[in-house]
Structure 1
Amino acid sequence: MKRIIPVLILCGLIACKGDQSQETEKDKSVIDSLNSEELLPENLLKSEPVVLNLEEANKLVELPLGCIDTEYPNKLGQTLENEAAIGEPSELHPAFYGCFDWHSSVHAHWSLVKLLKNFPELEKKEAVKEALKNSLSAENIRGELDYFKREESDSYERTYGWAWLLKLAEELRTWKDPLGAELADNLSPLTDLVVQRYQEFLPKLNYPIRVGEHTNTAFGLTFAYDYAVATENTKFKDLIAKRAQDFYLKDDDCPLSWEPSGYDFLSPCLEEVDIMRRVLPKNAFSMWIDDFMPQLKKKDFVMEVGEVSDRTDGKLVHLDGLNFSRAWVFYGLAKQYPQQYGHLENLANAHVAYSFPNLAGDSYEGGHWLGTFAIYSLQRAGTKEKE
């Protein structure tokens, strides 16, 4: 990574914005030639995008609506201070007790908000609004706050659940509807606490966590960064950008052939790409990714989808989630840098196409969370990114 350092010095790390040098005509001609369809593998040319339309939204909304009030089965994941700390899930978490675990409940609420924002004519729009108002009342959020302030809960849901809480807060704050503002205000005490927890934790984390599940550091940074940008929290944004560069700037040759592990739902390599494309300026990111995952620029790059052998197994079905999370990274990269990475949209389409048909009628092991991953992936497919 030696050649990226001068660029970052000149740019002041994160202060450098935009394209600081023009592509040469020769470079442009090479890029144009690589964009020609005949260089794309045949299987990728046939990968049609899944479109999230009103019909599909009406189907998908059933998943979060069906689980946010489903208290059992439940995985609490708590550390008990004493016997008095034991309680029913709905007592411990009056807002986010359903959907098997806390973080799944949080992102189920995000799914409801996202679908209602994008499709205000949902057949069950009134049921969605009522469910959101009931869950995200000021009283219920005070109950959640009390739990987070327990003696043994400093690291509760760190950082996966934290990240989804901020994604929910971001969605509410950017919803141009009085209900969105009301619910965002209700949620704000917990949102502020999560931001504080991030700001306390990140400076102490000496080494990133590079796994394909909940504790993946890059994923936690990515959603937090989006929230910081959306709310114009410059202090928080700069902290995340600094820590991402501390963790990942010198990384080379990510071992993509090692992925996936048996029940990953995140790609350690691609999640790192997802945060670095956000925090690095264009030229610095280009040089970084050339060292980290140069194969992504190849028009014939192929990554096989994660195959699920048993969708009733709560761990093995994680691989459906992996397909969606890989897809949202590919979509984001292709949208932000279409000349260099536009071909990855086809690969993203293939990953979504494999797992999307399995959402309806899936067992509760997958149904309580996979809809959210599908919705977020398809949102990235339709998002225009800034370079």
Structure 2
Amino acid sequence: MKRYFLILLCLGLLSCKGDKAEDTTNANTSKDTIDVKELLPDGLNATEAIILDIEEANKLVDLPLGCIETEYPNKLGQTLENKEAIGEPHELHPAFYGCFDWHSSVHAHWSLVSLLKQFPKIEKKEAIRETLKRSLSAENIKGELDYFKRPESGSFERTYGWAWLLKLSEELKTWQDPLGQELAENLQPLTDLVVQNYIDFLPKLNYPIRVGEHTNTAFGLSLAYDYAKTVENAEFLELIKKTAQDFYLKDDNCPVSWEPGGYDFLSPCLSEIDIMRKVLPKNAFSLWIDDFMPQLKSQDFEIEVGEVSDRSDGKLVHLDGLNFSRAWIFYGLANQYPDQFGHLNGLANEHVSYSFPNLVGDSYEGGHWLGTFAIYALQEANRKVKE
């Protein structure tokens, strides 16, 4: 409790001085190669780093391209008000009907935009552009907006799908290409609605949801934070900061030894760390993590990868996603605070190396979504925190 008051004091002093938390805005490099090995401290005994180069990108892009317009199998996650509400996926969700479920379709679109931005000479660049233009038309987004405005759709994709929609919007807005700007404009009405949904919902959420799957509150806050910071939406950003601090500032001794759960693709403990590293200034974050998960600062910290027993099982394969999401959080910590957390790069590499070889040629249960998680993890490895 004493350390909690020290954290509050740090926050208060920064507020009085007009200081801000360290800028954690991440910038993609323009290089055509992401070499995780470059981030490893000298002498670190870790598994060989995975390199995302254009050759790997040419393979990975087939995962989102292969599912965005694949309508079945499909999990709608729909609440029916009456029989008239029933429809085929492409009728209900004209933009995001593929990839098995709505949120996977959304982040598959993010994957295409992200890969094309990073590798403009990717082999299937024209197919990517045509797919994006066809899918994210103004007419299709209007259809998505109509679905969200149904009275029974208030909690649809809350907050996991919302978060990925904002990540897609952020990626489009920062794409210096006429197509990117056109698609960002098309998506804007749905983006605005999702932001408003967050603003309406977060003050009503009395307790955070601490699970390893879609409804995890910290994950939804973290991606929303990135969007709000990028577009400089001060009101939204302050709400996210306040919500995160209200929920998590007093937390201590997170039971990471209980993880993972059998269906987890997110770490409840690490997801909380990911949002708190963004909303707290350096000294306050250091004090907070000393209470929350102090072992993370140890050079000897270890956590076993999530082992997958059956990749044809849609729930059990979640653990591959856990490995990627843990990795991007470890990379994020190491990038932001290398002196304290640089040793986590090796652990991140181990997690990526376990699951990455299974991506291409995997069953649809994992293939429709895991490519996004791998891409996000490897890109996080190469991000640099702005000074």
TM normalised by structure 1 equals 0.93
1:36 to partner: Cα distance: 8.3
> Which string of whole-angstrom CA distances, capped at 9 and with x for unpartnered residues, describes residues 116-171 of structure 1?
00000010000000000000000000000000000100110000000000000000
Amino acid at match of 1:143: G
Report if the CA contact (8 A) 1:312-1:363 is conserved.
Answer: yes
Q: Is 1:240 matched with 2:240?
A: yes
Tell me the residue number matched to 1:67. 67
Q: Secondary structure at the match of 1:302?
A: coil
CA distance in 2, matches of 1:36, 1:162: 36
Following superposition, the deviation at residue 15 of structure 1 comes to 5.7
Does the Cα contact within 8 Å between 1:13 and 1:280 map onto a contact in 2?
A: no
Q: Which residue does the alignment assign to 2:163?
A: 163
1:324 aligns with 2:327: no
The answer for the alignment partner of 2:20 in structure 1 is: 17
- Displacement of 1:37 in angstroms is 6.0
Kept in 1: contact 2:331–2:380 (CA 8 A): yes
Query: What is the alpha-carbon distance in structure 2 between the residues aligned to residue 342 and residue 8 of structure 1?
Result: 25
**2:16 and 2:216 mapped to 1: Cα distance?**
24
Whole-angstrom CA distance in 2 between matches of 1:232 and 1:106: 23
Q: What CA deviation, in whole Å up to 9, does each residue of 1:41-98 have, x standing for no partner?
A: xxxx132221110000000000000000110000000100100000000000000000
Q: Which amino acid aligns with 1:11?
A: L
Q: Please say if 1:6 is aligned against 2:9.
A: yes
In structure 2, the residue matched to 1:23 is none
Gaps of 5+ in 2: 23-39
Match of 1:135 in 2: 135
Is 1:306 paired with 2:306?
A: yes
The residue correspondences of 1:24-63 to structure 2 (distance < 5 A) are 45-63=45-63
Question: 2: distance between equivalents of 1:92 and 1:262?
Answer: 32
User: For the aligned residues, what is the CA RMSD?
Assistant: 1.5
Contact 1:17 1:282 in 2 (8 A): no
Higher relative contact order (CA 8 A, sep 6+): 2
Counterpart CA distance in 1 for 2:115 and 2:310 is: 28
Could you tell me whether the CA contact under 8 Å between 1:63 and 1:367 is conserved in 2? yes
Distance 1:108 1:13, change over 3 A: farther
Deviating 4+ runs (over 4 angstroms)? 35-38
Q: What is the aligned length? A: 367
Corresponding residue number in structure 2 for 1:146: 146
CA-CA distance at 1:2 after TM superposition: 3.5
1:349-360 equivalences under 5 Å are 349-360=349-360
Cα 1:18–1:74 change in 2 (3 A) is closer
Contact kept? 2:95, 2:144, Cα under 8 Å: yes
Shift of 1:333: 0.3
Q: 1:173 to 1:256 in 2, by over 3 A?
A: same
Matched with 1:31 is: none
Deviation of the 1:386 alpha carbon: 3.6
Tell me how far apart the structure 2 counterparts of residues 108 and 18 of structure 1 sit (CA, whole Å). Answer: 32
**What amino acid does structure 1 have at the position aligned with 2:20?**
K
Amino acid in the other structure paired with 1:102: W
CA contact (8 A) 2:46 2:347 kept: no
| Distance in 1 of aligned mates of 2:119 and 2:106 | 20
Structure 2 match to 1:296: 296
Residues 14 and 241, structure 1, Cα contact 8 Å, conserved in 2: no
Q: Which residue of 2 aligns with 1:26?
A: none
Q: Is there any run of 5+ residues in structure 1 with no aligned partner, and where?
A: 20-34
Whole-angstrom distance in 2 between the partners of 1:51 and 1:169: 26
How big is the shift at 1:101?
0.2
- Confirm or deny: 8 A CA contact 1:14 1:279 kept in the other structure: no
